[in-house]
């Protein structure tokens, strides 16, 4: 702002670095605070509800209570909404304008983006490998690009299999590296699993993949298009299918070839095809799906 009298600092008090940010700049500038955990601040949620398709947030502010409905998903977006409300309060925007502008925000492509083809379960495209959601069952597809530090590959697979009831490992821009070698690196991180890539290939020949000791299921396929179809086909009412890793990227690099590949487009096509199968009386919930 040009007018020094209207300068404000907007700070997330839940952030451990909040005191540092507050101390920056002119100490006379008023601070507008927001948080989820700390209730003794300017903007905080009195309550909120997350679902597979939207969120409802009841925000307390110094000027009144705001009821906000948003198509943004995940707990992290509650923080984003609180930050937007705090900025609105800081600049003196009318409460009704704050609510309207927040509710009109669409999801950023590839960032916790909901794919809706009127299916009975949620499908989310995300660039990050994990978000906080609250479905009946999480089905996660994840791959590691060739640039990924080999030490991170087992860690990413471990997190996915710990947090998701169903995990599907696949390729993601393998470039000149053998996709099966990348999957083998990821498989090494699966907790309690002593299976090798060769074990999985053997199980796949018999169309049987035994569950992990924690009861979760793990599948893999080196062709990403097939993997996307599989996870979509496995979705049931109340599930959340998470297609992680690519997000907004619309290409797949294999060898020296860079070809168009859009996870969002692949999901929509798979959902439409699976719906046709369901209408024909075909159950696609059990892997393997062809």
Distance from C-alpha of 65 to C-alpha of 46, rounded to nearest angstrom: 9
- The Cα–Cα gap between 170 and 162 comes to 17
From 279, 158, 187, 290, select the one nearest 234 (Cα to Cα): 290
| pLDDT tens per residue, range 77-127 | 899 999 999 999 999 999 999 999 999 887 766 666 666 666 757 677 665
Sign of CA dihedral 245, 247, 248, 250: positive
Please report, for residues 75, 210, 218, 219, 276, the alpha-carbon distance to residue 72 in angstroms, rounded to integers and kept in the order given. Answer: 9, 36, 29, 29, 29
Half-sphere exposure of 152 (CA within 13 A, CB side): 9
Whether this prediction's pTM lies above 0.75 is answered by no
**pLDDT band for position 220 (50/70/90)?**
confident
288 band by pLDDT with thresholds 50, 70 and 90: very low
Which of 71-85, 117-131, 167-181 bottoms out in mean pLDDT, i.e. has the lowest?
Answer: 117-131
Per the model's pLDDT, the better-predicted residue between 90 and 185 turns out to be: 90
């Amino acid at each position: 702002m040009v007018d020094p009298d209207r300068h404000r600092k907007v700070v997330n008090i839940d952030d451990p670095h909040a005191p540092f940010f507050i101390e920056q700049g002119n100490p006379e500038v008023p601070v507008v605070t927001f948080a989820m955990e700390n209730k003794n601040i300017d903007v905080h949620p009195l309550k909120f509800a997350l679902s597979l398709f939207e969120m409802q947030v009841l925000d307390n502010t110094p000027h009144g209570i705001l009821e906000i409905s948003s198509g943004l998903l995940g707990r992290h977006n509650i923080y984003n909404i609180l930050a937007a409300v705090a900025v609105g309060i800081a600049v003196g925007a009318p409460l009704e304008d704050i609510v309207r502008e927040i509710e009109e925000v669409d999801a950023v492509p590839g960032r916790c983006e909901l794919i809706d083809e009127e299916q009975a379960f949620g499908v989310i495209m995300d660039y990050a490998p994990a978000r906080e959601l609250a479905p009946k069952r999480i089905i996660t597809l994840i791959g590691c690009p060739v640039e990924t530090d080999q030490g991170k590959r087992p860690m990413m697979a471990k997190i996915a299999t710990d947090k998701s009831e169903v995990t599907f490992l696949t390729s993601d821009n393998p470039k000149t590296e053998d996709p099966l070698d990348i999957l083998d690196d990821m498989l090494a991180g699966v907790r309690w699993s002593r299976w090798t890539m060769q074990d999985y290939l053997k199980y796949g020949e018999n169309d049987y993949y035994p569950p992990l000791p924690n009861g979760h299921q793990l599948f893999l396929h080196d062709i990403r298009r097939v993997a996307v179809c599989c996870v979509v086909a496995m979705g049931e009412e109340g599930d959340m299918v998470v297609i992680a890793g690519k997000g907004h990227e619309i290409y797949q690099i294999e060898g020296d070839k860079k070809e168009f590949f859009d996870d969002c487009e692949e999901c929509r096509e798979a959902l439409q095809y699976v719906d046709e199968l369901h209408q024909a009386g075909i159950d696609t919930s059990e892997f393997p799906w062809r």
